[in-house]
Structure 1
Amino acid sequence: MKKVAALATLLTLTTALAVAPKDTLVIQESADIPTMDPGVTYDTASGAITENLYETLLTYSGASLTKLEPLLATKWTISNGGKTYTFDLRKGVKFHSGNAMTCADAEYSFERNLVTNSAESGNWFISESLLGTGANANDDKTITWARIDKAVECNNAGQLVFTLPAVDPAFLAKLAYTGQSIVDSKHAAKIGEWSGKEADWKAWVGKDLTNSNLSKQPSGTGAYKFVRKDANAFLATAFDGYWGKKPAIKNIVIQKVSELAARQQAFLKGDADLIEGGGRAVDEEQIKGKPGVVWQDGFPSTSATAFFMNENIKATGLLGSGKLDGKGIPANFFKDANVRRGFSYAFNYDQYIQDVQKGKGKQRTMLLPDTFPGYDAKVNTYTFDAAKAKQFFQRAWGGQVWKNGFVLTANYRAGSVPSQTAMEILKKNIEALNPKFRVNIQAKQWSEMLASSKKGEEAMIVIGWAPDYADPDNFMYTFYSSNGYYFPRNNWKDTQVDKWLEQARNTVNTAERNRLYSLVGKKAYEQAPYILMPAPVGYSFMRDSLVGADQKSFNPMISFSYTGTFWKELSKK
């Protein structure tokens, strides 16, 4: 009890921006934490937590995007023509509850992900591997308990065995994603989660785990154990029973601080070790070169970001009059490709690169990192061209858009300076085209924007994608397929693009996959479903007292992107 009381006191002090002790890592960011349940973790804010409280079978080796090494597994074999994977599991591992980790926990974890799978849970890609479909049993009636149970089992030797319906060259990489972490099955069942048995599996199919009991009371095998969380702060402490090397830093405090200036002040004073910055231009001016700051530059960018233009806006509160009468927009406003092209030509990409990225940015041809296979640098791109924007708006909706005007309400993540600046650039240029054009922009909490956009209720937002696993399918299918994760947020569909993407994910021929992705890129340029944001050159900054985060160890596949490594690898001097 004394220990809990002391930690609670620490949380209160650090929330008040007390000086960060040597045994405590203090992080400040603008986003809240949507969930701590690995089964539904599918955003970086949540992933940064779960990947440190929980562990996966495999993890990335150092800074490599392709080399994997054992974590909770010790070794594995592949047989049956590449369709059977057998894992030996680490012995002597304990969960934070004190329960010993067994093969049954690993089997439960994957079966739970298959049972509760939904498009928003992040388990669709493991379901595709193990069941041959990204759907759940509610949406695909061929999925039975027998199929789920057969896909992942423990054999008599206590090994975990996966049986795939078809070869999947990305399967091992998928297992390294934090959403595939091993959870404490006894603890989960005790607090009211799925029992792990056939008797109640149907009641859990597709269930939203965001606010699950496991999210409120996590129990993983990670080096850090959850202590408490409220609306403004999160606290974890080193797990005494951790099977691996004892972490050098005892306490982790993450504070939600919406105002960038407050985060900067705390960082420069040493009250915070790491903070969410404000984009390169702001960070170079306010942070770089200041006393006590370590700045690292030149990281490759493995994320992709875009303006989403929703073709089926389901929130009537954002539509104004709901008509093309100059007082609002209809729900299908962005359905006309001429509207989307007009917006694409109205964004000043070069200005964004200069204002936000301080000249260190690159306009991509498609929503795929240029370091990934399948990227085609020859696909055309949009440039800022007011005359062309005007031409397309004059054509849009038979001339009604230009004649009557519109009022559009667009939201951006509260506290995100890059997103806010992008919105301001677009607003200024759109409104300069026609006095009847109006774009209202407003900040919105990250968890709220995720939830509303998931329901198709946002008209226009800026949102990005960080890879779950290092394969082009994870970006191209996500953004461009009508079966992809982001489809409900954009509602853009092209049957030919869907066909190409399905073909690309069903062949191991790299040249053919590259050809198909190039075709998708060209079609997307023509149809303009997104406004592609310039990709930054990666950088990081931290207090010089922090040790263990450098470019040699930085891995962009780790959600905790401020350092690109796990908390357990860090120390303070």
Structure 2
Amino acid sequence: MNRLLPLTLALLGSAALAAAPKDTLVIQQAATVTTLDPSAAYDTFSLQIIENVYETLWSYKGASLTQMTPLLASALPTYTDGGKTLVVNLRKGVKFHSGNPMTCADAQYTYRRDLVTNSAESANWFISDALLGTRDNAKQDKTITWARIAGAVSCNAGGQLVFKLPKPDPAFMAKMAFGGMGVLDSKWAAKQGEWNGTEATWRDWVGKDLSGSKLSAQPSGTGAYQLLRRDADNVLLRAFPEYWGGKPALANVIMQKVGELAVRQQAFLRGDADLIEAGTRTNVEAQLKGKPGVTVLDNLPSAGAQALFMNNNIKSASALGSGKLDGKGIPADFFASADVRRAFAYTFDYDEYMRDVQRGKAVKRTMLLPDTFPGYSKGTRTYKYDPAQAQALFKAARNGEIWKNGFTINANYRTGHIAGQVALELLKRNVEALNPKFRINIVEEPWSEQSKKLQASQEVMLPMGWGADYADPDNFMYTFYSSGGFFYPTNNWKDADVDRWLEQARATVDPVARAGLYKQVADRAYQQSPFIVLPAETNIRPVRSNLQGASAATYNPMRSFGFTGTLWRELSKK
């Protein structure tokens, strides 16, 4: 273990002790890092670290969302066999943090492990969908065999990695650039007691929860940084001295959990932190912009979408209050009524949200797809704040029982999600102004709790966003609107036509025809209002002025999930 500066160790134990050293990057955020196992990670905070500890076969080139550059692949591969086969040449001379050399066997192990352990809590569903033709694992889909898994990912006699797809998938290259697709150290994994990669043991690992795996505690990647120490509130990493890409300028990276926004802001202004989860645009412009030592990167592209979710089938008795329409709670199917969902959509003041929260730098979207992505429907109608329409719909819903008896809704937001909190507060004010019997209780909860509840259909109403895993419209449209999508358990809205259109779009290579299918989905979603689509602001990111490499020209919203827009190895301090 390399010796660290005493100051660096001091910073690890405190959110604000002294200015961050020149060779150390200090990041403060509100949420806990849930896992460092790439096969399990599916949250922004964990993946920020993982994409710097592990490396994918290729990644996005500079600020581009469509061009790729090789990482662990020695060159970008091309499809053969009508788009169903991809042969990858791997980079030579690459070492893992353990000291083991990277070989094709490691890449083969990695993606087979993803297919074996695939679960709804991980990102492996979209890799399984591409490689096996199903988003399910072998417990859910009995047609999945070891032969299918081994045939989908293998090494040939020349040491090349071979992917075999059941059908062409134009998004596959982009899917493989997802930060959780980093190549694992197979020998290290087996030594730690993880799956050994063999046919004899694979069924014991099907669908297994890997969030607390041995690899999460002791990762070994090929990335520029390796884990040195981790506790509940802090993660300390150091530059990997044998990194194939050369020595990074920053020797250490510290990620600290600091729940209070004001504390993060003060640490940032003092120079104790170089990057922080800074809250809304309003927070940044009022508290940080123009201050000494601060540079604000503005009008940055966004590859995300935000919504207020309304769960059609709430599977948590404790969240329902009385469980009845008696003013003291709601029934589990409260939001199953389109009239109710549309009433809430008319109650949200979109213009006020854009003006006061997003400072006018936002766009009112027609659908839950970034407006810069292909397939976005500009012509689809949108909701506006209209209390008269909302009142009429509430009176019509459930034969007038809602208007007569009232309701109490428990709505949660993630710790540190300031924009989501404000969105709920705006909705609460306007809903409760319609009828004194209407009530919304807003509660803060940690991400570690919320991430489990939303997949178990236990949330009632909550603000939730999606950052693109890969730069293709399917990643948003299927994720939000399909009954097979990641967010289906969070809102339980299903439409047979929408499901069919989305499946057709996934198999359509003609961009015009594909866009037409997505417009049909967007129009149906307007009619049914499964979500309250929140306006999307352009990204704004404050950085310390002495931090080099983080700029509007290099910012890629697919890197670090938009937090820094670049990898840590590309940063330095002056």
TM-score, shorter chain, exceeding 0.5? yes
Q: Does 1:458 align with 2:459?
A: yes
- The answer to whether the 8 A contact 1:31-1:256 is kept is yes
Task: Name 2:209's counterpart in structure 1.
Answer: 208
Could you tell me how far apart the structure 2 residues matched to 1:284 and 1:270 are?
A: 18
Q: Which moved more, 1:76-85 or 1:519-528?
A: 76-85
Task: Name 2:238's counterpart in structure 1.
Answer: 237
Q: Secondary structure at the match of 1:449?
A: helix
- Could you list the per-position Cα deviations for residues 495-523 of structure 1 after superposition, in whole angstroms to 9, with x for gaps in the alignment? 01001000110110111110010000000
Q: Which moved more, 1:166-175 or 1:404-413?
A: 166-175
- The answer to whether the 8 A contact 2:15-2:258 is kept is no
- The answer to whether the 8 A contact 2:61-2:69 is kept is yes
Instruction: State the Cα distance separating 1:13 from its structure 2 match.
Output: 4.6
In structure 2, the CA distance between the partners of 1:355 and 1:17, relative to structure 1 (3 Å rule), is: farther
Could you tell me how far apart the structure 2 residues matched to 1:13 and 1:234 are?
A: 10
Q: Does 1:35 align with 2:3?
A: no
In structure 2, the CA distance between the partners of 1:23 and 1:560, relative to structure 1 (3 Å rule), is: farther
Task: Name 1:180's counterpart in structure 2.
Answer: 181
Task: Name 2:48's counterpart in structure 1.
Answer: 48
User: What is the aligned length?
Assistant: 573
Instruction: State the Cα distance separating 1:175 from its structure 2 match.
Output: 1.1
Instruction: State the Cα distance separating 1:5 from its structure 2 match.
Output: 9.3
Task: Name 1:564's counterpart in structure 2.
Answer: 565
- The answer to whether the 8 A contact 2:12-2:254 is kept is no
- The answer to whether the 8 A contact 2:16-2:272 is kept is no
- Could you list the per-position Cα deviations for residues 307-338 of structure 1 after superposition, in whole angstroms to 9, with x for gaps in the alignment? 01001111111111101111101111101111
The amino acid across from 2:58 in the alignment is L
Instruction: State the Cα distance separating 1:7 from its structure 2 match.
Output: 8.8
| Equivalent runs, 1:257-276 vs 2, <5 Å | 257-276=258-277
Task: Name 1:83's counterpart in structure 2.
Answer: 84
In structure 2, the CA distance between the partners of 1:257 and 1:421, relative to structure 1 (3 Å rule), is: same
Task: Name 1:350's counterpart in structure 2.
Answer: 351
The amino acid across from 1:23 in the alignment is D
- The answer to whether the 8 A contact 1:267-1:543 is kept is yes
- Could you list the per-position Cα deviations for residues 543-563 of structure 1 after superposition, in whole angstroms to 9, with x for gaps in the alignment? 111001111111111125232
Instruction: State the Cα distance separating 1:177 from its structure 2 match.
Output: 0.8
Task: Name 2:21's counterpart in structure 1.
Answer: 21
Instruction: State the Cα distance separating 1:471 from its structure 2 match.
Output: 0.8
- Could you list the per-position Cα deviations for residues 201-244 of structure 1 after superposition, in whole angstroms to 9, with x for gaps in the alignment? 11111111111111111110000001111121111110111111
Task: Name 1:65's counterpart in structure 2.
Answer: 65
TM-score (norm: length of structure 1)? 0.98
- The answer to whether the 8 A contact 1:393-1:399 is kept is yes
| Equivalent runs, 1:440-459 vs 2, <5 Å | 440-459=441-460
Q: Secondary structure at the match of 2:123?
A: coil
- The answer to whether the 8 A contact 1:11-1:233 is kept is no
Could you tell me how far apart the structure 1 residues matched to 2:476 and 2:469 are?
A: 9
| Equivalent runs, 1:357-506 vs 2, <5 Å | 357-506=358-507
Q: Which moved more, 1:1-10 or 1:312-321?
A: 1-10
Q: Secondary structure at the match of 2:143?
A: coil
Task: Name 2:257's counterpart in structure 1.
Answer: 256
Instruction: State the Cα distance separating 1:10 from its structure 2 match.
Output: 4.0
Could you tell me how far apart the structure 2 residues matched to 1:159 and 1:194 are?
A: 23
Could you tell me how far apart the structure 2 residues matched to 1:217 and 1:160 are?
A: 26
- The answer to whether the 8 A contact 1:14-1:253 is kept is no
- The answer to whether the 8 A contact 2:16-2:267 is kept is no
Q: Secondary structure at the match of 1:143?
A: coil
Could you tell me how far apart the structure 2 residues matched to 1:78 and 1:423 are?
A: 47
Give the RMSD, CA atoms, in angstroms: 1.3
In structure 2, the CA distance between the partners of 1:220 and 1:2, relative to structure 1 (3 Å rule), is: closer
Instruction: State the Cα distance separating 1:119 from its structure 2 match.
Output: 2.3
Could you tell me how far apart the structure 1 residues matched to 2:10 and 2:82 are?
A: 54
- The answer to whether the 8 A contact 1:115-1:204 is kept is yes
In structure 2, the CA distance between the partners of 1:464 and 1:186, relative to structure 1 (3 Å rule), is: same
Instruction: State the Cα distance separating 1:4 from its structure 2 match.
Output: 6.9
Q: Which moved more, 1:233-242 or 1:8-17?
A: 8-17
In structure 2, the CA distance between the partners of 1:534 and 1:78, relative to structure 1 (3 Å rule), is: same
In structure 2, the CA distance between the partners of 1:7 and 1:97, relative to structure 1 (3 Å rule), is: farther
Instruction: State the Cα distance separating 1:19 from its structure 2 match.
Output: 1.7
Task: Name 1:113's counterpart in structure 2.
Answer: 114
Query: Which segments of 5 or more consecutive residues in structure 2 lack a partner in the other structure?
Result: none
Could you tell me how far apart the structure 2 residues matched to 1:530 and 1:83 are?
A: 36
Could you tell me how far apart the structure 2 residues matched to 1:94 and 1:11 are?
A: 30
Task: Name 2:338's counterpart in structure 1.
Answer: 337
Could you tell me how far apart the structure 2 residues matched to 1:303 and 1:2 are?
A: 39
The amino acid across from 1:414 in the alignment is T
Could you tell me how far apart the structure 1 residues matched to 2:2 and 2:106 are?
A: 31
- Could you list the per-position Cα deviations for residues 242-291 of structure 1 after superposition, in whole angstroms to 9, with x for gaps in the alignment? 11121000111111111111111111111111111121112101111111
Q: Does 1:312 align with 2:316?
A: no
Could you tell me how far apart the structure 2 residues matched to 1:481 and 1:381 are?
A: 20
- Could you list the per-position Cα deviations for residues 113-141 of structure 1 after superposition, in whole angstroms to 9, with x for gaps in the alignment? 00011222111111111111111111111
Could you tell me how far apart the structure 2 residues matched to 1:17 and 1:339 are?
A: 51
The amino acid across from 1:462 in the alignment is P
The amino acid across from 2:62 in the alignment is G
Instruction: State the Cα distance separating 1:78 from its structure 2 match.
Output: 2.4
Could you tell me how far apart the structure 1 residues matched to 2:62 and 2:467 are?
A: 18
The amino acid across from 1:200 in the alignment is T
- The answer to whether the 8 A contact 2:152-2:163 is kept is yes
Q: Secondary structure at the match of 1:115?
A: helix
- The answer to whether the 8 A contact 1:311-1:491 is kept is yes
- The answer to whether the 8 A contact 2:414-2:446 is kept is yes
Could you tell me how far apart the structure 2 residues matched to 1:267 and 1:408 are?
A: 37
Could you tell me how far apart the structure 1 residues matched to 2:366 and 2:417 are?
A: 24
- Could you list the per-position Cα deviations for residues 358-406 of structure 1 after superposition, in whole angstroms to 9, with x for gaps in the alignment? 1111110000011111111111101111111111111111111111001
Instruction: State the Cα distance separating 1:6 from its structure 2 match.
Output: 5.5
Instruction: State the Cα distance separating 1:77 from its structure 2 match.
Output: 3.6
TM-score (norm: length of structure 2)? 0.98
The amino acid across from 2:229 in the alignment is R
Task: Name 1:147's counterpart in structure 2.
Answer: 148
The amino acid across from 1:485 in the alignment is F
Instruction: State the Cα distance separating 1:61 from its structure 2 match.
Output: 0.5
Instruction: State the Cα distance separating 1:346 from its structure 2 match.
Output: 0.7
Task: Name 1:534's counterpart in structure 2.
Answer: 535
